[in-house]
Structure 1
């Protein structure tokens, strides 16, 4: 029986990305903690704190020992953390006389937190690759459709013509900002957690800082300036980034859902999904998932901020809250990136329908352009008033706004030429150029 949708054999393929989800499976969690224990033994042997033979034996055992998750269950239930049971199992695997040196001077949180960081490093690599794949598809859309007129919508109503290429470029610009944030996220997140019982490595005596540096080198992590057992801002900063990424994907998904409605039909997001009873339905499943996963992360991020309220030098309650929250956020982000990249790469753009929807407004989308054209020959307030009255007439008589204005204003404006929506896309082209220039920086 599955307790959550991301664990279910039925829904997990829909709601997770296998590569990201694998990082939070029990086997991966255990492997990462054993990796830290093995590296710790070698670091302590490097510094002469434990015998060299002990370091080698512990490292070898940590690399080849398999600990079944069920073997840690009872200990985790008793201790509230799996590390004591894992240490006991590793000591048994190492045997005498070297087993006594396993976990020398460390505390459970050192092992669990550092193991988490090692797995999050892999998650960051996966998510960066997903963002880059998505960026490539969006850049292609922006370039291909820079001259494709589209009805912009503000407050769910048609506004003025814009370029579909610019819409894609706006999506791309947010994706590039997430990539731009990544180096700082990595710098703050990929940091060793190593403080011992109370954060001061007292058990390691005068060699504490040397061991810390050696362990950081072996794991290819930065050393922390000070222990972060109960100061979790870097982890929460990362979680915020996850919520930002899925928020952008949710925005894209929302736009695609609206553009794909039957009455709009300006895009088609891949093959879509079917209905159990209506053969005509093609549901935008991928786009809907992006919205759902964005909302999930927007909700879960509050739990991560709640987990920042930690007491003194160790907090079992806040730490446990992270376990309940962060994996879902990371896995959800992986799923959103996979679905988003696939959806955009398969997106069909119906430029003819975009133009038809603009034309169906009978020129109302061009009302702003009309008022500025008239403002060249009269005060703008007067021009706006004329256009507003003409809009009413165009709606009531079902005529094109510019035909009404041509009859009522008596000006020399070339209304026929102004009917082309491509003339009213403003600085879209230049804006697309700027975004694509930024993209080249990340592409290179």
Structure 2
């Protein structure tokens, strides 16, 4: 078994997503750190902190550098961070004058954190695009099935008739809300990190804050003075948002897997997985994967909370813990969104099977409607007792509940009317329309950056 299932040749394609994995690859991490070092040199040259010609040479050397990853790995085992060896290699590619100004006034955490934010910015863009697409697809599914009769199940047991459109909305709405939360976090989290040895910019003196702001401008990040070396709540909030996205996808996957059970068979996935020994099996692998990723993200999030405990000005142990957990949650969310799209592409809704679960057999899901209809003619307690007894009779005798009630009760209830799909659905289609209208409004406001309605 691989140390990371996301990177495994056996399970990587099942659990991971190539685009998300690339954001956290060693090559991307090194490239981003070199980008930060180059951006720092440009910012300092622009402010006259270092000679103007030096910055161009540092940028050129950083662009051309072919880092020795083995040497960086070995040095990281000693230093606890890859920056010292990367800086040594960059300096070795430069003349003495330019080498003296590489990493000028910075500390390793400045480079690692800012490089990490560059990757997270791309991650947020990717997650938002995929979540937006999924919300649109789910909204279309809900609209298509606004009046599709479906059996609601509470605590896994048959409950009352509902609309399948409402169930699809329960998959879409949390994702829309998480898009809004993620957008709000961008300004808080996608900030430059530049504080020097202890966060007080001591090496650069009065010029330090201007360098930090200029570096932010070079990289297209929000400024942050003073630095946030020991303040990890922003990254934790982002990790939490990603875990909630994975959780919303897990709910979708769990519901789809339930609907694909042979004894339910209200949903089908055209690309189900096979069994090594049972030719009849079509396992809902993609849906199950969403559930597994959601649970993995929740567990990783718990560990990520520990990373908020940064001691004093900087803390190596808590910092390292972020490297172990944030990419895991990101993979669960970003990769899960791609997997969820595959689930929807393969999904078929059996509307006849759904309706039969309500109206077929003994018709027990109509018990609530029957008790309320009967309560218009007799005390409600008596109505509920009568319907409860009729449910037992219908189950034992293999009759339909409404037929039993029509025979046993002399109340002037139009029992046939209760069988109509429109009567069984009640306000559910209108609720779908109302929710879709609000969802569309929320999504439009999200695109324009306006605050969403509460």
TM-score normalised to structure 1 length: 0.97
Q: 1:94 is paired with a residue of what secondary structure?
A: coil
Q: 1:162 is paired with a residue of what secondary structure?
A: strand
Deviations 1:185-225 (A, max 9, x none): 21111011111000000101111111111111111111124
Measure, in 2, the Cα distance between the counterparts of 1:139 and 1:395: 37
Instruction: Please state how far the C-alpha of 1:421 moved relative to its aligned partner.
Output: 3.9
Instruction: Please state how far the C-alpha of 1:420 moved relative to its aligned partner.
Output: 2.4
Q: 1:50 is paired with a residue of what secondary structure?
A: coil
Measure, in 2, the Cα distance between the counterparts of 1:426 and 1:68: 67
Uncovered stretches (5+) of structure 2, i.e. residues with no partner: 448-454
Q: 2:152 is paired with a residue of what secondary structure?
A: strand
Q: 1:74 is paired with a residue of what secondary structure?
A: helix
Measure, in 2, the Cα distance between the counterparts of 1:17 and 1:411: 61
Measure, in 1, the Cα distance between the counterparts of 2:154 and 2:166: 15
Instruction: Please state how far the C-alpha of 1:381 moved relative to its aligned partner.
Output: 1.4
For residue 239 of structure 2, what is the aligned residue in structure 1?
239
Q: 2:100 is paired with a residue of what secondary structure?
A: helix
Measure, in 2, the Cα distance between the counterparts of 1:252 and 1:146: 18
Are 1:275 and 2:241 counterparts? no
- Alpha-carbon contact 2:293-2:336 (below 8 Å) kept: yes
Measure, in 1, the Cα distance between the counterparts of 2:69 and 2:331: 20
Q: 1:152 is paired with a residue of what secondary structure?
A: strand
Q: 2:348 is paired with a residue of what secondary structure?
A: strand
Q: 2:96 is paired with a residue of what secondary structure?
A: coil
Please list, as runs of the form range in 1=range in 2, the aligned pairs for 1:129-278 lying within 5 A after superposition: 129-278=129-278
Change (3 A) 1:88 1:347: same
Instruction: Please state how far the C-alpha of 1:2 moved relative to its aligned partner.
Output: 4.1
For residue 402 of structure 1, what is the aligned residue in structure 2?
402
Measure, in 2, the Cα distance between the counterparts of 1:279 and 1:308: 50
- Alpha-carbon contact 2:212-2:225 (below 8 Å) kept: no
Measure, in 2, the Cα distance between the counterparts of 1:431 and 1:91: 64
Deviations 1:3-49 (A, max 9, x none): 22112112111111100100111100000000000000000111111
For residue 294 of structure 2, what is the aligned residue in structure 1?
294
Measure, in 1, the Cα distance between the counterparts of 2:346 and 2:185: 31
For residue 46 of structure 1, what is the aligned residue in structure 2?
46
Greater shift after overlay, 417-426 or 209-218?
417-426
Uncovered stretches (5+) of structure 1, i.e. residues with no partner: none
Measure, in 1, the Cα distance between the counterparts of 2:429 and 2:358: 19
Measure, in 1, the Cα distance between the counterparts of 2:95 and 2:417: 88
Deviations 1:319-340 (A, max 9, x none): 1111111111111222211110
- Alpha-carbon contact 2:213-2:224 (below 8 Å) kept: no
Greater shift after overlay, 219-228 or 295-304?
219-228
Measure, in 1, the Cα distance between the counterparts of 2:226 and 2:18: 35
TM-score normalised to structure 2 length: 0.95
Please list, as runs of the form range in 1=range in 2, the aligned pairs for 1:28-177 lying within 5 A after superposition: 28-177=28-177
Measure, in 1, the Cα distance between the counterparts of 2:54 and 2:438: 52
Deviations 1:128-158 (A, max 9, x none): 1111121121011101111110100011110
Greater shift after overlay, 237-246 or 222-231?
222-231
Q: 2:405 is paired with a residue of what secondary structure?
A: helix
Are 1:339 and 2:339 counterparts? yes
Aligned length: 444
- Alpha-carbon contact 2:290-2:339 (below 8 Å) kept: yes
Q: 2:6 is paired with a residue of what secondary structure?
A: coil
